[in-house]
Amino acid sequence: MSASKSSLAALTLGAIGVVYGDIGTSVLYAVKEVFGSGHVPFTHANVYGILSILFWTLTVIVSLKYVVLVLRADNHGEGGLIAMLALASTAVKDRPELRQTLLAIGIFGTALFYGDGVITPAISVLSAVEGLEVISPAFRQYVVPITLVVLFALFAVQKRGTGGIGKFFGPITVVWFLTVAGLGVVQIVDHPEILAALSPHHALRFMWQQPGTTFIILGAVVLCVTGAEALYADLGHFGKKPIRLAWFLVVMPCLTLNYFGQGALLLERPEAVKNPFFNMAPDWALLPLVLLATMATVIASQALITGAFSVTKQAMQLGYLPRLQVQHTSEHDTGQIYMPFVNWGL
């Protein structure tokens, strides 16, 4: 019994590091992008509206859709769009036209996921290393070379397996989540009235009064749930229970506290809208926070990489891709794999 508990704890810690790295770093840019786009006038009512939209987007899309419902749709322990596609095509095998339509949709969605796997490591690591410019503009010329080295190192360690990587990334990501929660709590204590944005009526009012603006800022709002598809794709690596425990006990509460902390800061200092996340930190904490954010965004790339391995393996099994080399990296978890061709392709 104690062994299973310890393995559950280890898998949950690994899931925090590997599965939630991407969605965990969205606090760095989601609020900034919404107000930075120039489409949303800066008013107290709009701050409440945007926070409410972010909170309910997380609740409906991640908590309800993915964590509660979609995780139930596993195909022999594997997750991701291909797994769902296999289940759907089996359910309508006597209706060939509908089966073809579902197949086209599934392949399209999988292609988008590969696109995410290509873009996310590059963008997240680059944005992380650009934090060096906050410390000193003299670092600007080193940003791209350092990014290339970090990316190469990240892909080079993949063959060690997600279990080992998760053990290393998990504790760092837990520190990251506790830090973002702490930053948020400090601001919320000063302006507890911001918690009123938990009510969905603020989101509905914003959408009713500004439908055009709501549509335009969807691209920025959706940044708060980036990485949610990886949560499902990495199902085979960690299992349902650790992924659900990690979300409800650690990730969701910490993200919510940070978003509301950013909102509380904006109520007091509207000029902080240029970079609300880093403006929450006191001056003495800026350097450690930039370094921690850099590590967290490097880790964010991991969910997409492991997800790409899982999706490719499933596509091969269903006959949608030619056979590629698959290396199993764990003696216990069959879902933990490494695919050299996919790794270096990304």
Compute the average pLDDT of residues 61-90: 82
Q: What's the average model confidence in pLDDT over 212-235? A: 82
pLDDT confidence band for 300 (50 / 70 / 90):
confident
Is beta strand 337-338 parallel, antiparallel or unpaired with respect to 327-328? antiparallel
3-class DSSP state for residue 19?
Answer: coil
Decide which of 168 and 166 is more confident: 168
Judge contact between 158 and 301, C-beta under 8 A. no
* pLDDT reported for residue 331: 67
Are 231 and 64 in contact, with CB atoms under 8 Å apart? Answer: no
Question: Do 200 and 52 meet the contact criterion of CB atoms below 8 Å apart?
Answer: yes
Q: How confident is the model over 312-340, as pLDDT tens digits?
A: 887 887 787 888 888 877 666 666 788 89
Of 10-14, 56-60, 76-80, 229-233, highest mean pLDDT: 56-60
> What is the Cα–Cα distance from 291 to 204, expressed in whole angstroms?
38
Judged by DSSP in three states, 39 sits in coil
Task: Judge whether 314 and 234 are in contact, CB under 8 Å.
Answer: no
Q: pLDDT by residue (tens digit) across 37-61?
A: 677 888 889 999 999 999 999 999 9
Degrees, nearest 5: CA angle 237-303-55? 110
- Amino acid 264: pLDDT: 95
Report d(CA 158, CA 156) in Å as an integer: 6
- HSE of 185 in the Cβ direction (CA atoms, 13 Å)? 8
Q: Binning pLDDT at 50, 70 and 90, where does residue 163 land? A: low
pLDDT tens per residue, range 120-134:
788 777 777 776 776
Q: Which residue has the higher pLDDT, 181 or 25?
A: 181
> What integer pLDDT is reported at residue 332 of this predicted model?
65
Helix, strand or coil, per DSSP, at residue 95: coil
Interaxial angle between packed helices 96-129 and 143-156, expressed in degrees from 0 to 180 and rounded to the nearest 10 = 130
CB under 8 Å to 217, separation ≥6 — which residues? 34, 37, 39, 40
∠ at Cα 180 (114, 243), nearest 5°? 50
A 10 A CB-CB count for 208 gives 11
